[in-house]
Structure 1
Amino acid sequence: MNKKIAVITGAGSGLGASLAKKYAEDQYHVCLLGRTEEKLERTAHNLPNEDYSIFKVDVSSKQEVSNVFKQIKENLGVVDILVNNAGVGMFDLAENLSEDAVHQMIDINLKGTIFCTQEVLSDMKERNGGSILNIVSTAGLEGKMTESVYCASKFGMRGFHESLQAELKDTDIHVFGAYMGGMKTEFWDGIFDAAQTAGLMDPEDIADIIYHNAKVRKNLNVEQVVIKNH
């Protein structure tokens, strides 16, 4: 296959699903990665064409991530765009967060980003091209009440992202960071009620901004965008 390939983690809902649609419309073969197959199928059902693949994966598992990226390379080809979007958040005062909540946020948000990125770097370096989009969130820019560990995971992601930019500065590999506030997605189910989510941003709008800013253009480079709620 000589198709351009975009891999999107956390593609089962929200921003991941919206970005999948954008890249599908741009004639990419879209690889939808996530933990829940039913959600990935739902995303696929809303794509403008049938040029996609679904991969069930837990990004916090180095082994699972390696297996999936190996399948993608063998069956489809090298990855042109990686969108590190998978993320999870549990919010409470620092002393109330369970051990499991701490592990999940660090493992999925931070380690998941690292593991997926590691899988594409050597091929991207070999052909001196490709894009890595890190969906960080404004929680990677400032500490927030009841978000201590979520912010810690996102500050870590930002540190990885900025170090990656430094490592790849002399290449044509594009490393792009998106720092956005709360979006109206399933992420907030069980956390916010309808009144609280009413003022949140639309993931379609965010996807539009990220997609257009992350595009590789001649003689310019958008390194990051910060998108905040009114």
Structure 2
Amino acid sequence: MNQKIALITGAGSGVGLACAHRLAKDGFTLVLTGRQQDKIDAACATLDGQGHIAVAADVGVEAEVDALFERVETTFGRLDLLFNNAGRNGPAV
């Protein structure tokens, strides 16, 4: 099994989605994640290749991150690349 597995947070649009398209063209199998399942499902449907999955998760919620990585482990058995692209807004410090 030479297929590389990549997880991209914030993958529903913008830089995350653009990187997903590049990695898919390069032969990666992708796990796209974002807070809105419908948005990442739509993004996943636009990718070249097969076997990609979309998993809704808010990276600001520890239990959702744990569930995300459990899904990656049970589905693929490993992760070769993580692109932590998700953005968070909060009060200025």
Q: TM-score, normalised on structure 2? A: 0.89
Q: Counterpart of 2:42?
A: 42
Unaligned runs of 5+ in 1: 90-100, 103-148, 153-230
Residue 50 of structure 1 aligns with an amino acid whose one-letter code is: Q
Aligned to 2:70: 70
Q: For 1:60 and 1:88, how far apart are their aligned partners in 2?
A: 8
Query: Map of 1:76-87 to 2, 5 A cutoff?
Result: 76-87=76-87
If asked which structure has higher relative contact order (CA below 8 Å, sep 6+), I would say 2
Amino acid at match of 1:41: D
CA RMSD of aligned residues (A): 1.5
Structure with greater helix percent: 1
> Given that residues 59 and 65 in structure 1 are in contact (C-alpha distance below 8 angstroms), is that contact kept between their aligned partners in structure 2?
yes
In 2, the alpha carbon distance for the partners of 1:77 and 1:23 equals 19
Q: Which residue of 2 aligns with 1:5?
A: 5
AA aligned opposite 2:25 = E
Q: Number of paired residues? A: 93
What stretches of structure 1 move > 3 A for 4+ residues in a row?
none
Counterpart of 2:23, as a letter, is Y
Report the residue type matching 2:17 in the other structure: A
Q: What TM-score does the superposition give when structure 1 sets the normalisation length?
A: 0.38
Aligned counterparts of 2:73 and 2:29: Cα–Cα separation in 1:
13
Q: For residues 31 and 14 of structure 1, do their structure 2 counterparts lie closer, same or farther at Cα, with a shift above 3 Å needed?
A: same
Unaligned segments of structure 2, at least 5 residues: none
